Amino acid sequence: MSNIKEFMTQDHKECDEIFAQMEDAVASKSQDALSKFEAFGDSLTNHFKMEEMVLFPMFEQETGMTQGPTQVMVMEHEQMRELLSKMQKAVELNDNKRFFGLSETLMILMQQHNMKEEQMLYTMIQQHLGNDADHIISRMRSITR
């Protein structure tokens, strides 16, 4: 049987790796900086989709908690999407100073966000939905990448 918490935590790690590659490309003024940024944006956006379209609604339906932790996570997703939009403009303009200011903010927000999910929310989700983990992970995989 699969484990939702492990699956989602691994996806966080993959997003972090792509984030580091993006920062390296921008710092070195590489010609593929924009494509590395887009790869990171796609990875992060896909992670949000897995949560917002599959995981969170199933958890909310199972527990009845619609104004709880999932609501906070979705609000944080919106903050990160806004930062991504601003970062894209900075990459396109080759404004590394602005890019790295935004990138640092995003990194801190992602670290705090991921810690809350990994230490609390995913544990709660695994407890409530663990018996359906294989099905849930399959559904999440089907909407990404």
Global pTM? 0.94
Domain parsing of the chain, residue ranges: 4-142
Spatial separation of the C-alpha atoms in residues 44 and 32, rounded to whole Å: 18
pLDDT of residue 18: 98
Between 1.20.120.520, 1.10.3290.10, 1.10.600.10, 1.10.357.10, what CATH number should domain 4-142 receive?
1.20.120.520
Element (H, E) at 95: none
10-residue mean pLDDT profile of the chain (145 residues): values are: 91 97 95 95 97 97 92 97 97 95 98 97 96 95 79
Beta strands (DSSP E) in 22-83 are none
Tokens of 70: 């999932």
